[in-house]
Amino acid sequence: MLALLLAAGVVAATHNVVPFQLSVTDQSPLVQFTPAGPGGWNSSFSQSAWSTYTEGQPGIGESLHYINTSTWEGVVRPSFSVGLSASDVIVMGDVNGSPPADNAISATVTVYEEEAGKGPGDGQVTNVTASQGLKLSSGQLARVSNLSAEQPHLVEFTITDAAPSVYNVRNVIITTALWSKA
């Protein structure tokens, strides 16, 4: 009887998932910004005396990426992406210092196959438009929820609002999980 209980405990322990949140700065290589328009994305810091960041220059204070969409030409839309395994992705930021309007940012989730010897760039399965209508809290620019933390995917956020605005991306809060056998 004791052997059966121990065996059942071992089986249950092999499927233990421990969720946690991770805050990633906009300067992290996990967050990729795609240039758009003549101005593109700019990087700055809240307490630095200069207006834009130059690579290698020390920044003081909170970092942020920003883009002024009044520089858009044609249908070019700025975007940024995060590639990882997560169940929830929250982008912290604002539009002109306020929360964004509904549908100002769309999100596309690309899910990848997980096979031996293949990385996230191989074996693309499908693109799914992320659900809109999530109520954003103060300081949130965009959010995608109900993703599978068990499968690698790329979440791409695209600014779709046509009104000229300044979009600020400060950091990304990721809910992911550790797989534990303990």
In this predicted structure, the answer to whether residue 13 has a pLDDT above a threshold of 70 is no
Q: What percent of the chain has pLDDT over 90?
A: 7
pLDDT, position 155: 85
Residue 127 lies in domain? 17-53+60-180
- Arithmetic mean of pLDDT, 58-73: 81
Does any domain span residue 9?
no
Q: For the chain, where are the E strands, in sequence order? A: 16-25, 31-34, 42-45, 63-68, 79-84, 88-95, 105-112, 124-129, 140-144, 153-159, 166-180
Q: What CA–CA distance (Å, rounded) separates 25 from 80?
A: 13
**Higher per-residue pLDDT: 122 or 84:** 84
Does any domain span residue 8?
no
pLDDT, position 34: 86
Does any domain span residue 10?
no
Q: What CA–CA distance (Å, rounded) separates 47 from 61?
A: 5
Give the global pTM: 0.75
Does any domain span residue 153?
yes
Does any domain span residue 36?
yes
Does any domain span residue 5?
no
CATH code for position 74: 2.60.120.260
Total domains, the chain: 1
> SS3 string of 141-176?
EEEECCCCCCCCEEEEEEECCCCCCEEEEEEEEEEE
User: Which of 2-16, 90-104, 158-172 is least confident?
Assistant: 2-16
Tens digit of each residue's pLDDT (9 = 90 or more) over 106-132: 888 877 665 555 554 554 545 555 555
Does any domain span residue 1?
no
Q: Which amino acid is at 49?
A: A
Does any domain span residue 12?
no
